[in-house]
Amino acid sequence: MKPQKSKMMRMKQLSAESGVPKGTIQYYIKEGLIPKPYKTHANMAYYNESHLNAIRLVKELQEKRFLPLSVIKQVVRGGRGGLSVDEIRALTEIDGKLFPNLVENPEVRPMTAKQLSEETGVDLKDIKQMEKIQVLNPVKKGNRILFGEDDIRLVECFARIREAGFSEEMGWDGAVLSVYRDFLQRLVEEEAKILMSGVAGKVGVDKLTKMVEEGTIILNSMIGLIRKKLIVETVKRYSDELQARIMIKEQQTP
């Protein structure tokens, strides 16, 4: 549906209100960074608040987040779950505020890959595989690549998995965690869409940060319980299918 005439503007007004030159706006349109204008005929193009907001978001992501246009393009065209401009802005506002231990916890001594391997008993090859699939995210400090608290805890969990009997021969190496990362990435994208659609522009940054942090703890428990139930249901389903196959085979045997 065409927007109301009163909300529409020409390129000159859009450039003035956004502070972005005409040529840059045209480039943004060409690259798909902002929506195409509404055209009444070949030489008459109109824009509205959605175009203005999109331009402001691109500028914000460039100037405050230092993101390249290739990444911004992926975001604004739906690469991050199809979020709206306001929803993406709400997410960028809490960036760096969530889970302080992910940023830095002075009580936990960062470790190199070799130190982490020696501390946990996990093979260096597995640690490198987890880093390659971005389950682990070390940071460079000087000439050293160091793993922080959450990476250390994750490798400790992997060591416990091995102790429980999940061996490399069974297919359990560092790379197997890519299955979990891929599924969880899709889950988080869906969570972001659900959350942002309800709170964008309605909830302040501090409250939103607290909601996400507290909600994550609760939802982790809920996910664990649902997963536990699904494991039991899956085992029972396969057991029932096996019993049915055995009965059919017995009936077919003379």
DSSP the chain: -PPPGGG-B-HHHHHHHHT--HHHHHHHHHTTSSPPPEEEETTEEEB-HHHHHHHHHHHHHHHTS---HHHHHHIIIIITTS--HHHHHHHHHTTTTS-HHHH--TTS--B-HHHHHHHH---HHHHHHHHHTTSS--EEETTEEEB-HHHHHHHHHHHHHHHTT--GGGT-SGGGHHHHHHHHHHHHHHHHHHHHHHHTTTS-HHHHHHHHHHHHHHHHHHHHHHHHHHHHHHHHHHHHHHHHHHHHHHHH--
Question: In this structure, is residue 93 part of a structural domain?
Answer: no
Burial class (CB in 10 A: 0-12, 13-18, 19+), 85: buried
Question: In this structure, is residue 178 part of a structural domain?
Answer: yes
Which residue segment(s) compose the domain that 69 sits in? Answer: 5-79
pLDDT (tens digit per residue) in 55-64: 988 888 887 7
Question: In this structure, is residue 157 part of a structural domain?
Answer: yes
100 pLDDT higher than 90: no
Question: In this structure, is residue 73 part of a structural domain?
Answer: yes
146 pLDDT higher than 90: yes
pLDDT at 142: 87
Residue percentage of the chain with pLDDT more than 70:
87
Q: Identify whether residues 136 and 186 lie together within a single domain.
A: yes
pLDDT at 250: 84
| Per-residue tokens: 38 | 């509404």
Q: Identify whether residues 125 and 183 lie together within a single domain.
A: yes
Residue 60 in contact with residue 89, Cβ under 8 Å? yes
| Better-predicted residue by pLDDT, 90 or 137 | 137
pLDDT at 102: 47
Which CATH number fits the domain that encloses residue 157? 1.10.1660.10
Q: What is the pTM of this model?
A: 0.63
pLDDT band at 247 (very low <50, low <70, confident <90, very high): confident
99 pLDDT higher than 80: no
Question: In this structure, is residue 88 part of a structural domain?
Answer: no
197 pLDDT higher than 90: no
Q: Identify whether residues 165 and 190 lie together within a single domain.
A: yes
Count up the domains in the chain and report the number: 3
User: For 182-193, what is the mean pLDDT?
Assistant: 87
Query: How far is the C-alpha of 58 from the C-alpha of 18, rounded, in Å?
Result: 11
Question: In this structure, is residue 12 part of a structural domain?
Answer: yes
Domain-terminating residue out of 79, 108, 126: 79
pLDDT at 82: 60
Q: Identify whether residues 209 and 116 lie together within a single domain.
A: no
119 pLDDT higher than 90: yes
Residue 105 in contact with residue 149, Cβ under 8 Å? yes
pLDDT (tens digit per residue) in 82-92: 666 677 777 77
Q: Identify whether residues 217 and 178 lie together within a single domain.
A: no
Phi and psi based region of residue 70 (left: phi greater than 0; alpha: psi -120 to 50; beta: remaining): alpha
Q: Identify whether residues 215 and 182 lie together within a single domain.
A: no
| Residue with the two structure tokens 């992910």 | 102
Q: Which residues contact 93 (CB under 8 A, 6 or more apart)?
A: 205, 208
127 pLDDT higher than 90: yes
| Better-predicted residue by pLDDT, 41 or 229 | 229
Residue percentage of the chain with pLDDT more than 90:
42
User: For 158-166, what is the mean pLDDT?
Assistant: 95
